[in-house]
Amino acid sequence: EKLKEYIACLYQEEHLEIMQCTYTLSKVEKINRKSIQKLVVTNPYTLGLKELMLAFIADQDEIIHRHFNEAIKNLFHIKYYYLEALYYYCIFLKKIGSSLFDTKRSEGISLCKEYRYQYLHFLFHNISLNKKPKYAFNYDFYDTPGLELFVQKHNSEWEKYFRENEVA
């Protein structure tokens, strides 16, 4: 409800913010076609998000395929959203029993590992399970010695900085 209120308060010219927030909302509830169609497309990223939202609400497999493929094509340059679109496409492919499922899922797993998206890797890896295991962050995923200590050190420095510079 707070997200809906926020979207409603945005100025019409805040195209990108409206698109991004509506996309986030579309992942938790169905958005009507009219609301999606009136969203302003300003670049391939916004077109990709719009196509993804249209895929979420389409009811014919051929149309769903088309929207997912357009979304994936337009989001390719932003790897996180590309992989998120590919993940939702895999869910659809699994649901309809498509032979593309294994290929696309393998691509997603491989690219998540390459681009180091641990949570998306977890989602792709577990997409076939009927019951999802609980996600747990793990520094070992990144195969970078000393990463955990580096993060802890810099987090401590930032915490100290914010405590010392707190606004009263």
Range from 2-6, 54-58, 61-65, 144-148 carrying the lowest mean pLDDT: 144-148
Helices (H), the chain: 2-9, 15-26, 33-37, 44-57, 61-75, 79-96, 100-115, 118-125, 147-164
Could you tell me the pTM of the whole model?
Answer: 0.88
Mean pLDDT of 117-133: 90
What is the structure's pLDDT at 141? 92
Q: Which of 97, 95, 62, 68 is nearest to 81 (CA)?
A: 68
CA distances from residue 165 to 93, 117, 151, 156, 157 in whole angstroms, order as listed: 51, 33, 21, 14, 12
Residue with tokens 């929207």: 67
Mean pLDDT of 88-97: 97
Q: Which of 35, 77, 76, 130 is nearest to 89 (CA)?
A: 76
What is the structure's pLDDT at 73? 98
Mean pLDDT of the chain: 94
Residue 129 — pLDDT band, cuts 50, 70, 90?
Answer: confident
Residue 161 — pLDDT band, cuts 50, 70, 90?
Answer: confident
